[in-house]
Amino acid sequence: MPTNSPHDDDSDDAALHTETPRRRFLQRTGTGVAAALIAGGVGTARVAHAAQATPGDADAVKLPPIADTETEQQEETPDPRARTDERVGFAVVGIGRLTMNQILPALASSKYAKLAALVSGDADKAHKVARQYGLSEDAVYGYDSFERLAGNRDVQVVYIVLPNSMHREYTERAAKIGKHVLCEKPMATSVADCQRMIDACRNANRLLMIAYRSQYEPMDRLVAKWIKEKQLGPVTEFIAGNSQNTGDPGQWRLKRALAGGGPLPDVGIYCINAARFLFDEEPTEIIGTVTQPAADPRFREVEQSVHFILRFPSGATATCASSYGNHESRFFRVQGAKAWAEMNPAFAYNGLRLRKGMLVEEKNAATEITVDPVDQFAREIDHMALCVVRNRTPHTPGEEGLQDQRIIEAIYESARTGRVVKLSPPPGPTRGPMPDEEKF
């Protein structure tokens, strides 16, 4: 039995202000490109509200905003509304802020999936959350009793929402007990761990999907459609930034052993994945540089900022920046010979805006494109559920996460050596079939 007790994503322990095995684990484990970016407008940050309890529930769990985070994206927590039916059952591993504010509400409103179990190192909190979502007491598991999920027939999928370095271990454990896996991004902290995750699920004949929610978001998919249909003309350039001012120096995302890096694997990965998804090709040359100010205690172990350029076989380039030291800014622009497309904000859970610029009657014109907002988490969860029912490869399988990790490691290598890093193409496809839009 593994001895590590992981710390839930976004620190549920900090929310409860209690000393738990996961906090002690966290304390032990934690113990050159001149690229001009277009000016990225500030994304609209929403003020965090405490998690809302079911009316009349005196034991309801409330999550306050993360302390000392000045411009990180915050979000509201909808009231949980659990339904009981024959949807595909998910066990969520880790009940931190992302789980509480996004994943559990998405499961409650999902068409094809439902919450069937919780796994956490904090039994008191887990049981309170279970009651809020209508789960029985025996649907709550600890990390040391994870393998008991094997006997829970209501659970078909394990959704891993843990620090990055824990993803490989819990994917292997889930596959070993016969469960499919949906894993948060980044997939892992090394190419080797990504491959082990793929192998574990393949050998167990289980599906593995990485939670790249933006690829299931309608605006992103619309831009990809424009590029594929040549509506922008030949596309030459992708420019993107994804930054936030990350506060608390003690959080796990600033510990290399847990996160695998700083902003690059956390928020910079959105720029990497968007460029690959939109261009529908893989970069072959990579240049990167990092900034790590010695005087800032937040960045003793990881970089503050990273800038990188990806060059693709078509000649197109992606010029990107990501930081934990800047005010929140999330955007991308695709430049084509006939038109451009821009999302600003991009990458966020909500509040996205899409514009398209082109010549109209010999004059430059920009049009804002309106698309009905969707719950990105519910869409990706529904896609995974349908893949389980149909025994179909997910659109964003393990190979997609592995390729991003290869690029992340190449960016760090370039920053370390000051050289261009050449990257060979992946040995096969990195994506499965596109989701069936009509099913949503």
CATH number for 110 = 3.40.50.720
**405 and 295 within one domain:** yes
Per-residue pLDDT at 86: 83
Residue 70 in this model has a pLDDT that exceeds 70? no
Residue 244 has pLDDT above 60, yes or no: yes
Both 69 and 124 in one domain: the answer is yes
Report residue 237 as tokens: 């350039």
User: Which of 78-87, 234-243, 343-352, 384-393 has the least mean pLDDT?
Assistant: 78-87
Does the structure show a pLDDT above 80 at 322? yes
Which two tokens mark 107?
């499961």
Same domain, 204 and 262: no
User: The tokens of 273 are what?
Assistant: 């994945």
pLDDT, tens only, 403-436 = 999 999 999 999 999 999 999 999 999 999 998 7
Please tell me the predicted confidence (pLDDT) of residue 141.
99
Confidence (pLDDT) at 285: 99
List pLDDT tens digits, range 334-368: 999 999 999 999 999 999 999 999 988 888 999 99
How many domains does the chain contain in total? Answer: 2
Report the run of H or E that residue 367 belongs to, with start and end: strand 363-369
Say if residue 280 is in the same domain as residue 165.
no
Q: Which of 212, 244, 260 is the last residue of a domain?
A: 212
Q: With 60 as the cut, is the pLDDT of residue 298 above it?
A: yes
Strand, coil or helix: 322 = strand
Spatial distance between the Cα atoms of 126 and 240, rounded to a whole number of angstroms: 38
Q: Are residues 137 and 163 in the same domain?
A: yes
Query: Who has greater pLDDT, 388 or 37?
Result: 388
Contact 119, 146 (CB under 8 A): yes
Catalytic hit among 112, 270, 324, 349: 270
| Per-residue confidence (pLDDT) for residue 67, from 0 to 100 | 34
Q: How far is 411 from 428, CA to CA, in rounded Å?
A: 22
Annotated catalytic, 270?
Answer: yes
Q: What is the mean pLDDT of the chain?
A: 86
Structural domain of residue 76, as residue ranges? 12-17+45-212
Q: Which of 173, 192, 212 is the last residue of a domain?
A: 212
pLDDT, residue 68, reads 36
Averaged pLDDT, 144-148: 99
92 and 105 in contact (C-beta within 8 Å)?
Answer: no
Average pLDDT over residues 230-256: 96
Region of poorest pLDDT, from 12-16, 24-28, 104-108, 135-139: 12-16
- Residue 29, pLDDT > 90, answer no
pLDDT band for position 60 (cuts 50, 70, 90): low
176 and 103 within one domain = yes
Q: How many angstroms separate the CA atoms of 333 and 336, rounded?
A: 10
pTM of the model: 0.84
For residues 173 and 65, membership in a common domain is answered with yes
Whole-angstrom CA distances from 133 to 57, 61, 128, 202, 286 are 11, 11, 9, 32, 46
- Please tell me the distance from the alpha carbon of residue 318 to that of residue 286, in angstroms, as a whole number: 10
Q: Rounded CA gap, 125 and 132, in Å?
A: 11
Task: Using pLDDT thresholds of 50, 70 and 90, give the confidence band for residue 61.
Answer: low
Q: If we measure between CA atoms, which residue out of 192, 191, 165 comes closest to residue 183? A: 165
The yes-or-no verdict on residue 3 having pLDDT over 80 is no
Taking the C-alpha atoms of residue 40 and residue 42, their distance in angstroms, rounded to an integer, is 6
Residue 108 within a domain? yes
Mean pLDDT of 151-156: 98
Q: Does any domain span residue 390?
A: no
- In 3-state terms, what secondary structure has residue 42? strand
Name 359's bridge partners: 364
Mean pLDDT within 316-332: 98
Catalytic residue among 114, 185, 255, 356: 185
* CA–CA separation, 273 and 69 (whole Å): 25
* 133 catalytically annotated: no
For residue 399, pLDDT over 90 is answered with yes
Residue 198 and residue 246 in one domain = no
- Report if residue 393 sits inside a domain: no
Q: Which amino acid is at 440?
A: F
What pLDDT, on the 0 to 100 scale, is given for residue 84? 52
DSSP code per residue over 187-251: --SSHHHHHHHHHHHHHTT--EEEE-GGGGSHHHHHHHHHHHTTTT-SEEEEEEEEEEE---TTS
Q: Do 148 and 225 fall into the same domain?
A: no
